[in-house]
Structure 1
Amino acid sequence: MTSMRADAVRNRDLVLATARRAMAEGDMSLQLNDLARRAGIGVGTVYRHFPTRRALLESLAEPAFTALLDDARVASLREDAWTGLRQILRTLLVQQLSDPAFTEVISTSPALDASPDTTSHREAFADLAQAVLERARQAGALRLDLTPDDLHHLVCGTAFALRLTPDPNACLDRYLQVLFDGIRTTA
């Protein structure tokens, strides 16, 4: 793989920064023509780096995926499987709350992925999460009827519910505890 010229790197970073500002302002449309105008660069330059809105979203979500995978690796090494499962689900939820691009990418089908890197991140996370899930199940801590998809949907639903509150961070731990209480086996 060849490295990009310095000006190409600057332009790519400028588009990403402009897109992040647009999202922070509540504009999730991320129309590439508008981003080019806001960044003060040519439309062709934007499309050269990000041929589709989805490609841009995945690039914006990359840091969140990296953080999620790093934390999932740590969680998978926890001696106590329940602690590892709690960690992995909490990290997934926090990343969704803090990064709208990540939320959109992680909550859609892998069939929509524009980049093989995104699909690879999903698969790596799924493998780590499955290992933690199995350990928690074998330890008798996790309900047997829950699938990885169930847990993913429950976390996405919790993220949605938290975004409806005036202060998601203030409710985060309480909502997580309700989720954990619901998925844990009863004595």
Structure 2
Amino acid sequence: MAVETKKPQETTGLRADARRNRDLIVAAAQKLFLEQGVDVPLEEVARRAGVGIGTLYRRFPDRDALLRAVGEESLLRLVDLAETAWREEPDAWHALCRFLRICAELRLGALPAKLEPHLHQQIRTGRDLHEMRQRVIAVVLRMTEQAQADGTLRDDIGPGDIALLMTLQIYTPPDMPGGQAMARVLEIMLSGLRAGSELTLPGAPLTGDDLRRYTAVRQPSAPRTHLDE
């Protein structure tokens, strides 16, 4: 059964024009964060979105609120694309390959990697972002386990390894067409994942338990007082 993809709760109840402005701002921020980093001026985000800076601040009172919205949208999109690949492809291997290709081509995994240091505390102490992240993990785990059961994915690969590959960023030499470089590197990567390779990988695979432990919700530490000393 596909996971239902829901829009963030803060979009419910908005007028159509307000929702459209919010979506334009988030989409512009996603692109600019990838291009220039998360410290890009908010005025530039507003300009790219085609709205006034006052409109941006009505929807997002500060940079942290915008970062959080971009993180939510990114995670929801990852879930949606993974579930669509699982539903439409003939088997788990092809679903996994499709998902990893999309992550690399659209740099979908790279954006959460940029956002995570800034949302680190919210992800580990807040339920909503944590639950979205767990949904991505669940889909990746399902594809990995089924592809290995089918004998198409090598046994010494874990879902944590797949999660690392989701953040793959490919440098394109100036004299090579971008599409060609992307396609070549992706096929090299996928060939290395396929069962039957005699290559021995260093270290141990990153398992589903590793991923869950890393993304577990953690309560913030209580401030120390003189009574603790």
Q: TM-score, normalised by structure 2?
A: 0.58
Cross-structure match for 1:93: 104
1:155/1:17 CA distance change after superposition, 3 Å: closer
The residue identity in structure 2 corresponding to 1:75 is A
Of the three residues 146, 163, 179, the one matched with 1:135 is 146
Cross-structure match for 1:41: 53
Please say which structure displays the higher CA radius of gyration.
Answer: 2
Q: Are positions 1:27 and 2:36 aligned together?
A: yes
**C-alpha separation in 2, matches of 1:52 and 1:183:** 42
Which residues of structure 1 form unaligned runs of 5+? none
**C-alpha separation in 2, matches of 1:31 and 1:116:** 29
**C-alpha separation in 2, matches of 1:81 and 1:11:** 38
Q: 4+ residue stretches of structure 1 with deviation over 6 A?
A: none
CA contact (8 A) 1:31 1:53 kept: no
Of the three residues 46, 70, 82, the one matched with 1:72 is 82
**C-alpha separation in 2, matches of 1:113 and 1:168:** 36
**C-alpha separation in 2, matches of 1:15 and 1:71:** 22
Cα deviations by residue, 1:105-142 (Å, 9 ceiling, x for unpaired) = 25636745578654443322221111111011111222
**C-alpha separation in 1, matches of 2:165 and 2:20:** 39
Cross-structure match for 1:174: 184
Matches within 5 A, 1:91-170: 91-96=102-107, 103-106=110-113, 108=116, 111-113=120-122, 118-156=129-167, 158-159=168-169, 162-166=170-174, 167-170=177-180
Calculate percent identity across the aligned residue pairs: 31
Cross-structure match for 2:204: none
**Superposed CA RMSD:** 3.7
Cα deviations by residue, 1:61-91 (Å, 9 ceiling, x for unpaired) = 6665454333322332444222122112112
* 1:13 CA drift (Å): 4.8
SS state at 1:186 partner: coil
1:150/1:68 CA distance change after superposition, 3 Å: same
SS state at 1:145 partner: coil
Q: TM-score, normalised by structure 1?
A: 0.69
* 1:169 CA drift (Å): 2.1
The alignment of Structure 1 onto Structure 2 pairs a total of residues equal to 177
Which residues of structure 2 form unaligned runs of 5+? 1-8, 198-229
Structure that is richer in helix per residue: 1
